[in-house]
Amino acid sequence: MRRRPVRRKLVVLAVSAAVVSVGAAPPSAPATATPKKEPVAVGYGGAVSSVDADASAAGIEVLRKGGNAVDAAVATAAALGVTEPYSAGIGGGGYFVYYDAKSRTVHTIDGRETAPLTADSGLFLENGQPIPFADAVTSGLGVGTPGTPATWQTALDAWGSKRLSPLLKPAERLAREGFTVDPTFRSQTESNQARFKDFPDTAELFLPGGQLPVVGATFKNPDLARTYAELGRKGVGALYHGKLARDIVDTVNDPPVDPASGRNARPGELSLKDLAAYETKRQVPTKTKYRDLNVYSIAPSSSGGTTVGEALNILENTDLSKASDVQYLHRYIEASRIAFADRGRWVGDPAFEDVPTKELLSQKYADSRECLIKDDEVLTSPLAPGDPRNPVACATGDKAAPTTYEGENTTHLTAADKWGNVVAYTLTIEQTGGSGITVPDRGFILNNELTDFSFTPASPDVHDPNLPGPGKRPRSSISPTIVLDQHNKPVVALGSPGGATIITTVLQTLTGLVDRGLPLVDAIAAPRASQRNQATTELEPGLWNSELRTGLESIGHGFRQNPEIGAATGVQRLPHGKWLAAAEKVRRGGGSAMVVTPAR
């Protein structure tokens, strides 16, 4: 085993009159002075919303210097790789949705990680049996070819106004000079402590001296600062060719685990050929008509756009604005259940699978599924899928495909500029802490996205579209969404982390905003329910401890508690060139909404 020495070292929607115009980034704050987090900001010149104040400030800095929404999104994402290293970074991938104000069109980039070209359906099998999920998570086997740097360059080449190098400078400075450790960063480190300590390079960076980072302390990552500087000088091709690429391949194929730990960190099969062959995909977005709004999102390989879109189509024929709170949640839960049943059967990487995207998003198919919902009964999960290519009203005859597990971390950012361009961008390294394996001397953790594949067929009698394959993208639930009005002008953009709960978070936030009349920040803050074709529905404490739960149980719903679902951000277009940015009030320690110039 190779050993390395351990170094020391709506229609525009109305806004509540109570909204306060706060959240502008300090014009000349030092890099180590973390701006105050605010969940909502209103003003001019553009907006950025993310989970982290330093990251949002990086995007605002770019907007102030004349950059557009794409430039700001890249700068914000790079900063999130510093301050949210367990959720995102250049070792991962994601999906980028862009609205071009000049042409009034929506475009997308699939920057999902890919399996090695040598992978087959038995990637996670040993002696014919699937390896334990926890073993796959912390291994080289789970690491896919990173797509995030290529996504940045693809977006900048197509729609950006600045080069990559200056956009990485705020993040490079943040990594070099440090950011302030908050309770969320410490908690996420603690939850990964047991595996982080088994990898000397990870332990040195995130557990210095064997200790957890202290809240209020300054956390620095000079290795990542140097890596960003290298990408700025050489371009993102440096990650897919040359020494950095070799470092990644060596780390995946011979994980630098402490031999004394006893951990079996299985090697992967990533090659330089895999990195050199990686390409993002520019593709047509999904489009769904809902309440006279045009809802755009990402098409497969993510299931986000098709599943949110199908659920919206199912809800289209119900006036949710007049429903009671119980009936609203009942309909939302059942629409989610049905859409997830179809997702499990039909959605995979379209380069390998015949995915009926158009049919899944047809109103005709949604109507054939909507009739399953009864006001006084609850559907039983796992619910069987329908056949979107041959819709049969209320059909329940096929075999059900259970929902596979997806790590519940990731991060989402939204950005808008003074010209009216908008970005919704969700990026990830899979679950909190990714693979747990840091590339030595490079300052970033590698993803474990390949664990989003089914290890074995979800149902032995039904084709599983999400088995591994050579160069295949695992199915995702990421759902960056941009909503336009009838004139193709932006209404709102939003998205969330949360694994498979991303879909339900985006769906619930959209219906809360559009149907229930909630201001965006309140639609984001509302307590969440998540049904993913499972026997019980997850509830956050705000619903678990409410009378609504009792009302839903009287219909027949069953529940289990989840302390926190998702961490959404969004931007909303207001009249007269104004933007509203919104983020979480509490989840993940609260988010950070900022505008260039606050409204008075």
Average pLDDT over residues 138-148: 98
Average pLDDT, the chain: 93
Average pLDDT over residues 47-71: 98
Q: How confident is the model at residue 13 (pLDDT cuts 50, 70, 90)?
A: very low
How many other C-beta atoms can be found within 10 angstroms of the C-beta atom of residue 371? 12
Average pLDDT over residues 128-139: 96
Average pLDDT over residues 480-507: 97
Cα–Cα distance, 239 to 250 (Å, whole number): 13
For the cut 80, the answer to whether the pLDDT of residue 20 exceeds it is: no
Domain residue extents for the chain = 1-600
Average pLDDT over residues 499-509: 97
For the cut 90, the answer to whether the pLDDT of residue 311 exceeds it is: yes
For 251-300, how does the pLDDT look when each residue is reduced to its tens digit (9 = 90+)?
Answer: 999 999 999 999 999 999 999 999 999 999 999 999 999 999 999 999 99
Distance of alpha carbon 57 from the chain centroid? 20
Q: Where are the beta strands (DSSP E) in 170-210?
A: 179-180
Q: Measured over all CA atoms, what is the biggest interatomic distance in the chain, rounded to whole angstroms?
A: 67
pLDDT score, position 8 = 31
pLDDT score, position 34 = 75
Express as a percent the part of the chain with pLDDT over 70. Answer: 93
Cα–Cα distance, 348 to 228 (Å, whole number): 33
| Token digits of residue 248 | 């990644």
| Token digits of residue 394 | 């209320």
- Smallest CA-to-CA distance from 495 within 554, 411, 420 is with 411
pLDDT score, position 50 = 98
Cβ-proximal residues to 303 (8 Å cutoff; 6+ apart), any chain: 343, 347, 475, 476, 477, 503
More confident: 33 or 594 = 594
Catalytic-residue membership of 597:
no
pLDDT score, position 202 = 98
395: burial class by Cβ within 10 Å (0-12, 13-18, 19+)? middle
Average pLDDT over residues 217-225: 98
Cα–Cα distance, 569 to 373 (Å, whole number): 30
Candidate list 154, 189, 410, 451, residue with the active-site label:
410
Express as a percent the part of the chain with pLDDT over 90. Answer: 90
For 102-111, how does the pLDDT look when each residue is reduced to its tens digit (9 = 90+)?
Answer: 999 999 999 9
For 230-251, how does the pLDDT look when each residue is reduced to its tens digit (9 = 90+)?
Answer: 999 999 999 999 999 999 999 9
**Single-letter code of the amino acid located at 481:** T
CA dihedral sign, ordered 240, 241, 244, 245: positive
Q: Are 168 and 76 in contact (CB under 8 A)?
A: no
pLDDT score, position 30 = 39
For 84-102, how does the pLDDT look when each residue is reduced to its tens digit (9 = 90+)?
Answer: 999 999 999 999 999 999 9
For 578-599, how does the pLDDT look when each residue is reduced to its tens digit (9 = 90+)?
Answer: 999 999 999 999 999 999 999 9
Q: How many CA atoms lie less than 13 Å away from 112 in the CB half-sphere?
A: 32
Q: How confident is the model at residue 405 (pLDDT cuts 50, 70, 90)?
A: low
Average pLDDT over residues 140-166: 98
pLDDT score, position 2 = 37
For the cut 50, the answer to whether the pLDDT of residue 6 exceeds it is: no
Residue with tokens 């969320």: 184
pLDDT score, position 408 = 61
Alpha-carbon distances of 236 from 38, 154, 231, 278, rounded to whole Å: 33, 10, 5, 12
Q: What is the pTM of this model?
A: 0.94
For the cut 80, the answer to whether the pLDDT of residue 403 exceeds it is: no
Does 259 sit behind a cis peptide bond, omega within 30 degrees of 0 on the bond before it?
no
For the cut 70, the answer to whether the pLDDT of residue 26 exceeds it is: no
Q: Where are the alpha helices (DSSP H) in 26-182?
A: 53-64, 69-83, 133-137, 148-159, 164-177
**Single-letter code of the amino acid located at 536:** T
pLDDT score, position 12 = 38
Q: Where are the alpha helices (DSSP H) in 115-163?
A: 133-137, 148-159
pLDDT score, position 65 = 97
For the cut 60, the answer to whether the pLDDT of residue 31 exceeds it is: no
- Smallest CA-to-CA distance from 509 within 536, 529, 533 is with 529
Cα–Cα distance, 77 to 69 (Å, whole number): 12
Cα–Cα distance, 64 to 429 (Å, whole number): 29
Dihedral Cα 369, 375, 376, 381, nearest 10 deg: 30
